[in-house]
Structure 1
Amino acid sequence: MADFALSRVEFAALSRGEGTSLTLGPLDGRYRDAVAPLVDFLSEAALNRDRVHVEVEWLIHLTRHSVLPGTEPLTADQEGRLRAVVTSFDAASVAELAEIEAVTVHDVKAVEYFIGRRLDGIGIGHLKPLVHFGCTSEDINNLSYALGIKGAVTEVWLPAARSLVASIADLARSTRETPMLSRTHGQPATPTTLGKEMAVVAHRLTRQLDRIAATGFLGKINGATGTYAAHYASVPDADWEGVARTFVEGLGLTWNPLTTQIESHDWQAELYSDVARFNRILHNFCTDVWSYISIGYFAQVPVAGATGSSTMPHKVNPIRFENAEANLEISSGLLDVLSSTLVTSRWQRDLTDSSSQRNIGVALGHSLLAVSNVAKGLARLDVAEDVLAADLDGNWEVLGEAVQMVMRAEAIAGVPGLDDPYERLKDLTRGRRVDAARMREFASGLGLSAEAEQRLLALTPAGYTGIAARLVDHLG
């Protein structure tokens, strides 16, 4: 085996995040800056911090309500010092937990012992039996994951996504009047405005964001199989359902009253499906923008000193949108797997969810990275109105729809000689380009009423956009 410059210890240190050059995944290396805000919510360290938080709050909750005989509320100072175990959670805490877990071979049990070590110093060492009281590890894990996911979505992912959609909406408003040739099935079609097409995307994405913002983050704390059996066996006179509900809701979560050992994760599956749908709509936007760039509708503003192509100096590659496409596909694939996996569990419990949930940060990270790239890509675009105008002027045949509809309306009004309007326009336009002179010559020879003829003669592809500009107002 070859000798390496770094020792195994140095390599391991870098892999833990103490460096970025030797990471296994790109989110912890090349793209770390873009996704770093998620680390505080969805990393392994954040999960352990949240576990400590849940255990500490459960202990305080039980004492505040004097659920167990012989317990009484802690003093304000004791509660404060207990909560400081959470707020002071740092790298040394992570290392200590790892040392404990190496002995317990159980991550949640390690958290219990971690907290227990600190109670004597707070003057409540007699309450060590109350740490993790009545809990199975899933009671702590489901609440910890819910807190981490809620924070990641509401404080990081959603604000970034909403900012991006706001930028798309701003583009829609600024180009609401800019006429653009549509393409249906890749062929020239009835014109629209660039702003209206951007508004469609912003509207679609906003609907998904509103669904995501309305997510209920569920939690439970009801024991080994969801029956409160150990709770009632130890303290039969307590209102354990009420204690559980007020605790879960006190954490800012929604109480799930009916579960097996695990909280069923249905809310997670719903959330991930919504995020994946947002991803796919955004992916569609990226491919459209990429195509508009390729035909010159958008010009990319070069970044000073940046290289577009390693060999072709003239190029400015649309890399932000291409990078986003790839990351959206990876994110959606992971989210699909999570959505399908997390809603199933054999009988009252299996551990498939344990491994699955450790990838939530990866799934959201790739989506967040894509959102960042699209935002940066949009910021470097200029609308090439001259190209848009030239494309419209080169496709007068798209007015065939308008001409044949006017012919139909005139025929209904009793104007003679306007039979088979669709067939006549098909003969004129299909498979050939029609210029302004030919279209106007055709309209003039139809025998339309004077008002209808003048209306058609004044029509241009750029003016045939209906109420496209007004539709942008639906964005609010």
Structure 2
Amino acid sequence: MTEVTSDGSVFPDPTYKETVLRPLFDGAKTHHVDGFRRIDRAHLVMLVETGILPRDDAARIAQALEAIDREIDPAQLTYTGEVEDFFFLIEAELKRRLGPDLAGKLHTARSRNDIDHTLFKLALKQRTDVLLSRARKLAATLLDVAEREKSTLIVAYTHGQPAQPTTFGHYLCAVAEVLLRDIERIAAARTLIDKSPMGAAAITTSGFPIDRARVAALLGFAGPLRNSYGCIASVDYITGLYGAMELMFLHLGRPIQDFQVWSSFEVGQLYVPNAFVQISSIMPQKRNPVPIEHLRHLASQTVGRARTMLDVMHNTPFTDMNDSEGETQQIGYEAFNSALRVIDLLTSLVGGIRIDAANVARNTRRSCITITELADSLVRREGLSFRQAHEIAAEVAKRVVAVQGDLGTDGYGPFVEAFQRSVGRSPAVDAATFAKLVSPEHFVAVRNRFGGPAPASMDAAISDYRGQLDAFDAEAYRIAAREVAAAAELDRSFRSLMGDA
């Protein structure tokens, strides 16, 4: 109901109601109903177990909460301004059913401050778990395709220009390695989200003998966050999470951009299946791999939304504040929505794309990208300094490119001339050996070092990455099992108050 205040004005002011209270109410009924329900039940159980509230009173409150859940559909509620927010709606319902004295006992030793941050953490844990699960699926797909394509040659680019040959598997393992680090960062951020603020009350806990650890356990948290001031003032559970999300999607945007370039007509290194291609409405010859563009802008949207969360926290006071609450949290939820779209689409795309071997061979031939191995081989085989070998190799590449030739077949003559002019003798390397030394297959095969693209080093890397992924999976399963057990314990303990156990 509206309230006439001490200065004669009526709360809520109609504009305040429409611009602030209604959006907050609608956000709470959309995102936090289950959290409110769980918090009320866990707090009630704790009040009884600690002797703060008599069991008979708790039983009546529990029955009323159960009836509210059964009879009121939050999705159908329309904000009227009769109560300030969703919390007061539940409290008003309890008062109507139980009377103000008994209904008010549920709020003993708690505040909307600790309730709100607990709500947000419950919502973020659920969303973070989904994000991590999808990210692990993407990582597994990257590794599966990397294993399948570990011998598939590609042109690797630096500064936008062809640089050296490697394999598609080697490239995808690099993407997976960064993704695994991003998963680790988000998982680390989740460990702070997994600390319960309940029991901090407004700022300083309570004079009642509350059991913060019990409430944390019933809500599925790993434990309570220690400092009660920090429970309501610190926002690093927000900045840590969204900072890690910003990095993940900034990083994913980079291979997405590579895919855009590689699938262009001029490069043609990446073949995108027709299932991901749209045809121009006016130019029937065009194959437009537009999902890559959608991936790019959705990844950028996710980066922007995550960054917004950090920007909102900037220069805010170290105290409980609306800046970190309701509507700001909803901005963050939108970051999760676009994030999941990126991960799902990228997982599907990576599973379907292929390398166009003919175009890779063409670009390799045109760019002389194996010439580095010629210089290296001259050092090992002919005893030259690297600088002298590099100068000979550079001269060979220049002459082959000038005639648009093939390094393996057209480069031996220029090589002999450049070698004799520089060294003063003929090389020991014959034409057949020269062709092998400058082949992309040889280039990859001899780079059998830790982290390199050769088969043995690739096998070791993929095995290591899969081990990391298995460890992430195991930890996720452990956390999920703990939270399932907590939900069952909360349900059992709550129902026991009503005599249902």
More displaced, 77-86 or 417-426? 77-86
Query: Are 1:160 and 2:130 an aligned pair?
Result: no
Could you tell me which residue of structure 1 aligns to residue 456 of structure 2?
470
Q: CA separation of 1:309/1:418 partners in 2, compared to 1, >3 Å: closer, same or farther?
A: closer
Could you tell me which residue of structure 2 aligns to residue 18 of structure 1?
none
Q: Secondary structure at the match of 1:221?
A: coil
Deviation at 1:56, TM superposition (A): 2.4
Q: Secondary structure at the match of 2:287?
A: coil
Deviation at 1:267, TM superposition (A): 1.7
Task: Give the whole-Å Cα distance in 1 for the aligned partners of 2:281 and 2:272.
Answer: 17
Query: Are 1:334 and 2:309 an aligned pair?
Result: no
Could you tell me which residue of structure 2 aligns to residue 428 of structure 1?
396
Task: Give the whole-Å Cα distance in 1 for the aligned partners of 2:63 and 2:360.
Answer: 64
Deviation at 1:205, TM superposition (A): 0.7
**Relative contact order: is structure 1 or structure 2 higher (C-alpha 8 Å, sep ≥ 6)?**
2
More displaced, 432-441 or 144-153? 432-441
Offset from partner CA, 1:366-392 (integer Å, 9 cap, x none):
111222222343344233222222322
Deviation at 1:58, TM superposition (A): 0.9
8 Å CA contact 1:180, 1:192 repeated in 2: yes
Deviation at 1:319, TM superposition (A): 1.3
Could you tell me which residue of structure 2 aligns to residue 247 of structure 1?
215
Instruction: Choose the corresponding residue for 2:88, options 109, 112, 117.
Output: 109
Residue type at the aligned position of 1:255? P
More displaced, 58-67 or 192-201? 58-67
Task: Give the whole-Å Cα distance in 2 for the aligned partners of 1:325 and 1:419.
Answer: 41
Instruction: Choose the corresponding residue for 1:348, options 319, 331, 339.
Output: 319
Residue type at the aligned position of 1:470? A
Q: CA separation of 1:89/1:399 partners in 2, compared to 1, >3 Å: closer, same or farther?
A: farther
Could you tell me which residue of structure 1 aligns to residue 105 of structure 2?
130
Could you tell me which residue of structure 2 aligns to residue 266 of structure 1?
236
Q: CA separation of 1:380/1:79 partners in 2, compared to 1, >3 Å: closer, same or farther?
A: same
Q: CA separation of 1:182/1:419 partners in 2, compared to 1, >3 Å: closer, same or farther?
A: closer
Deviation at 1:168, TM superposition (A): 2.0
Could you tell me which residue of structure 2 aligns to residue 29 of structure 1?
none
Identify, as 1 or 2, the structure richer in helix: 2
Query: Are 1:170 and 2:124 an aligned pair?
Result: no
Residue type at the aligned position of 1:93? P
Instruction: Choose the corresponding residue for 2:74, options 93, 98, 113.
Output: 93
8 Å CA contact 1:165, 1:206 repeated in 2: yes
Could you tell me which residue of structure 2 aligns to residue 292 of structure 1?
262
Report 1:76-475 matches (<5 A).
82=65, 88=70, 92-96=73-77, 98-99=78-79, 102-117=81-96, 127-154=102-129, 156-214=130-188, 215-216=190-191, 217=193, 218-223=195-200, 225-228=202-205, 231-232=206-207, 235=208, 238=209, 240=210, 243-253=211-221, 254-260=223-229, 262-294=232-264, 295-303=267-275, 307-342=278-313, 345-354=316-325, 355-395=327-367, 397-410=368-381, 412=383, 420-430=388-398, 433=401, 435=406, 436-444=408-416, 446=419, 450=428, 455-459=433-437, 460-465=439-444, 466-467=447-448, 468=453, 469-473=455-459, 474-475=461-462
Q: Secondary structure at the match of 1:358?
A: helix
8 Å CA contact 2:138, 2:347 repeated in 1: yes
Q: CA separation of 1:431/1:188 partners in 2, compared to 1, >3 Å: closer, same or farther?
A: farther
8 Å CA contact 2:131, 2:340 repeated in 1: yes
Deviation at 1:293, TM superposition (A): 1.0
8 Å CA contact 1:283, 1:325 repeated in 2: yes
Task: Give the whole-Å Cα distance in 2 for the aligned partners of 1:420 and 1:379.
Answer: 45
Task: Give the whole-Å Cα distance in 2 for the aligned partners of 1:281 and 1:169.
Answer: 17
* Structure 2 residue runs without a partner (length 5+): 1-26, 420-424, 464-501
Task: Give the whole-Å Cα distance in 2 for the aligned partners of 1:472 and 1:346.
Answer: 50
Task: Give the whole-Å Cα distance in 2 for the aligned partners of 1:256 and 1:374.
Answer: 36
Q: CA separation of 1:73/1:192 partners in 2, compared to 1, >3 Å: closer, same or farther?
A: farther
Q: Secondary structure at the match of 1:192?
A: strand
Instruction: Choose the corresponding residue for 1:55, options 33, 40, 48.
Output: 40
Residue type at the aligned position of 1:57? A
Task: Give the whole-Å Cα distance in 1 for the aligned partners of 2:98 and 2:159.
Answer: 69
Q: CA separation of 1:46/1:430 partners in 2, compared to 1, >3 Å: closer, same or farther?
A: same
Offset from partner CA, 1:18-39 (integer Å, 9 cap, x none):
xxxxxxxxxxxxxxxxxxxxxx
Residue type at the aligned position of 1:267? Y
Deviation at 1:176, TM superposition (A): 0.4
Deviation at 1:332, TM superposition (A): 0.8
Q: CA separation of 1:208/1:188 partners in 2, compared to 1, >3 Å: closer, same or farther?
A: same
Q: CA separation of 1:444/1:115 partners in 2, compared to 1, >3 Å: closer, same or farther?
A: farther
8 Å CA contact 2:64, 2:94 repeated in 1: no
4+ residue runs over 6 A deviation: 451-454
Task: Give the whole-Å Cα distance in 1 for the aligned partners of 2:372 and 2:113.
Answer: 63
8 Å CA contact 2:200, 2:228 repeated in 1: no
Q: Secondary structure at the match of 1:66?
A: coil
Deviation at 1:72, TM superposition (A): 6.3
Task: Give the whole-Å Cα distance in 1 for the aligned partners of 2:134 and 2:86.
Answer: 32
8 Å CA contact 1:196, 1:471 repeated in 2: no
Q: CA separation of 1:251/1:431 partners in 2, compared to 1, >3 Å: closer, same or farther?
A: farther
Identity of aligned residues (%): 18
8 Å CA contact 1:50, 1:148 repeated in 2: yes
Residue type at the aligned position of 2:48? T
More displaced, 376-385 or 201-210? 376-385
* Structure 1 residue runs without a partner (length 5+): 1-41
Task: Give the whole-Å Cα distance in 1 for the aligned partners of 2:387 and 2:342.
Answer: 53
Task: Give the whole-Å Cα distance in 2 for the aligned partners of 1:102 and 1:431.
Answer: 81
